[in-house]
Amino acid sequence: MKRFMLMHVGFQKPTPEIMAAWGKWFEHVAPQTIENIGLRNGREVSKGGSIDLAMGLESITGCTIVSAESIEDAQRLAASNPFVSSIRIYEMMSF
């Protein structure tokens, strides 16, 4: 099995309905889940300095690391997610 990072993109203030949908999704993918990570208080650092990152529709707000046979299998898991804007999928490599 390979490992994939599903990066959750987009933020909106959670409602009870949104939280319930996420809870159902986490239960659905639990057999393939290695880790769930939420993100907040971001900062971007570049050669020009740093800026605080606001939470919005373009924000990376968390990730779920899953075990799957292929990126297509990981995509099927991501497609059932109640995402705000999108989910970005990356295959993970060990160094």
pLDDT at position 79 over 90: yes
Tens digits of residue pLDDT in 50-63: 999 999 999 999 99
Cα–Cα distances in angstroms (integers) from residue 88 to residues 14, 51, 68, 92, in the given order = 21, 23, 15, 12
Q: Where are the domains of the chain?
A: 2-91
Identify the burial level of 66 via C-beta atoms within 10 angstroms of its C-beta, where 0-12 means exposed, 13-18 middle and 19 or more buried.
Answer: buried
- Asked whether the beta carbons of 35 and 4 are under 8 A apart, the reply is no
State CA 51 to chain mean position distance: 22
Closest Cα to residue 8, out of 58, 42, 45? Answer: 58
Domain 2-91 coded CATH 1.10.390.10? no
Query: What pTM value is reported for the model?
Result: 0.89
Tens digits of residue pLDDT in 9-53: 999 888 999 999 999 999 999 999 999 999 999 999 999 999 999
